[in-house]
């Protein structure tokens, strides 16, 4: 029996499949935690998450306005770390918003 990956491989080129794999990794809670730890803000992982990548802007959601402000102070570090971690994905900026309850 063929796996879903085998079927997709028949329709998509290798570059597209690799990009899709990287995008999947980007949204992993462990990756966000690693990025925050590298930026000396490990406690932020339980209060925020990567919500989406809209074109080339990384959208981060936080559970409290104070966390939004704190993350904004580390914005350039977060962006640089994400770029180093995922060189094949283009990031031009980061946007922050409160999580919906």
pLDDT, one tens digit per residue, over 45-57 is 999 999 999 999 9
Other C-beta atoms lying within 10 Å of the C-beta of residue 82: 22
For residue 53, the 8-state DSSP code is E
Tokens of 16: 């597209």
**Range in 21-35, 53-67, 70-84 the model is least confident about:** 21-35
Rounded to whole angstroms, the Cα distance separating 72 from 68 reads 6
For residue 89, the 8-state DSSP code is S
Residue of 27, 70, 25 whose CA lies nearest to 47: 70
pLDDT for position 57: 96
Categorize the per-residue pLDDT at 28 as very low, low, confident or very high, splitting at 50, 70 and 90.
confident
CATH no. of 4-98: 3.30.300.180
Tokens of 91: 């990031």
Which of 2-6, 21-25, 26-30, 58-62 holds the top average pLDDT? 58-62
Where are the domains positioned within the chain? 4-98
């Amino acid at each position: 029996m063929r796996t879903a990956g085998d079927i997709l491989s028949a329709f998509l080129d290798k570059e597209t499949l690799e990009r899709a794999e990287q995008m999947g990794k980007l949204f992993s809670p462990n990756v966000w935690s690693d990025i925050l730890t590298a930026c000396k803000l490990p406690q932020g992982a339980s209060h925020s998450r990567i919500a989406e990548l809209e074109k080339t802007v990384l959208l981060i959601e936080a559970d409290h306005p104070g966390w939004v402000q704190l993350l904004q102070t580390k914005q350039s570090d977060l962006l640089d770390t994400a770029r180093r971690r995922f060189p094949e994905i283009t990031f031009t900026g980061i946007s922050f918003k409160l999580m919906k309850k």
